Structure 1
Amino acid sequence: MSPFRDMNWKEKMASIVGISIFIIFLVGFVVGIYFFGIAGVFNLLGVEYDTVWSLLLFVISFYFLGIIVEIFSKAIFKLTTLYIKGKSKVMVIRVCIEFTSNWLVLYTVDEFMSSITLSIKTEIIVAVLIALLEIVFEDAADKE
């Protein structure tokens, strides 16, 4: 028995709108964290960008392209570490794969955008930083 069966159409629409607003808020919150994090790192590294909107477009592009690339990098990580013993070896492989996928996304977004130009040194620093943060937060979430 479906809980939506006893609801009228107004209640169903209110539920759909409420869930949609919640999802939009959640995605906005995650993109906001990425935005302020990347803006802070860019500020520390001296990266210049034309406008805040170009930075926002960079972050949104990085986030959504990163989701697509991460699907493949997770599969590569699982297949690569299938028969490897030892936590340190697995961790080194994980950092390498995370770094490579983040650098690939940063490089791709940077090449398509003319309003932000990153040096290779900055791309590497940001890719390493994001890779390490992703690993730390994933490990913390797995332990809870």
Structure 2
Amino acid sequence: MPDHHDDDSFRDMNKKEKIATVIGIVFLIILVVGFVLGVYFFGMAGIFELLGVQYKSVWSLFVFVVSFFALGLIVELFSKAVFVLSTRNITGRLKVFFVRFSIEGVSNWICLFTVDEFMKSINLSLKTEIVIALLLAVLEIVFDEKEGGNKQATST
């Protein structure tokens, strides 16, 4: 009989460990997503400040950033596919960079334009949207290259 009791405590311990692991992983994901959103938030706040963009409240800026980030994730799936298909037969780093910069810039602009159109508390001019989109495209390419980058861009 004592063996059976030891088996139950082992199973309970195993469940506790599994629950703790799941909670730890969820916490880590929340932390990483929060960090990325924080970088986007403060980055956008800085860019808006430099370009003189007015917004009604910090909350409206937060909603703008979260909306831009969420839409950007969806649009990026398509833009990455377009980039890979577009550069399949292109040789030369400069040509690949130009194609990637163009695709990233357009996809960022589409996201900015869409979120700006749905939000009334932030108004971006077309010039500001283009400047921010191109700046974000450069930053995405630079950080992507530093992380090991795009195999297509580095192999040619």
TM-score, with normalisation over the residues of structure 2?
Answer: 0.86
In the alignment, structure 2 segments of 5+ residues that lack a partner are 1-10, 150-156
Of 113, 124, 127 in structure 1, the residue corresponding to residue 130 of structure 2 is: 124
Cα distance per residue 1:29-59 (max 9 Å; x no partner) = 0000000000000001010101101100100
Cα distance per residue 1:96-143 (max 9 Å; x no partner) = 000000000000000011110100010000000000000000001116
Output the amino acid matched with 1:40: G
CA distance in 2, matches of 1:39, 1:112: 19
Partner of 1:32: 38
TM-score, with normalisation over the residues of structure 1?
Answer: 0.93
Of 69, 84, 87 in structure 1, the residue corresponding to residue 90 of structure 2 is: 84
CA distance in 1, matches of 2:132, 2:71: 16
Secondary structure of 1:117's partner? coil
Is residue 62 of structure 1 aligned with residue 65 of structure 2?
Answer: no
Q: Which has the higher Rg, Structure 1 or Structure 2?
A: 2
CA distance in 2, matches of 1:87, 1:129: 20
Output the amino acid matched with 1:91: F
Would you identify which runs of 4 or more consecutive aligned residues in structure 1 move more than 4 Å? Answer: none
What is the aligned-residue RMSD (CA, Å)?
Answer: 1.4
Partner of 1:140: 146
Task: State the 1:85 CA deviation.
Answer: 1.2
In the alignment, structure 1 segments of 5+ residues that lack a partner are none
Moved more, 13-22 or 24-33: 13-22
Partner of 2:19: 13
CA distance in 2, matches of 1:93, 1:44: 28
CA distance in 1, matches of 2:15, 2:121: 47
Percent of aligned positions with the same letter in both sequences?
A: 59
Secondary structure of 2:147's partner? helix
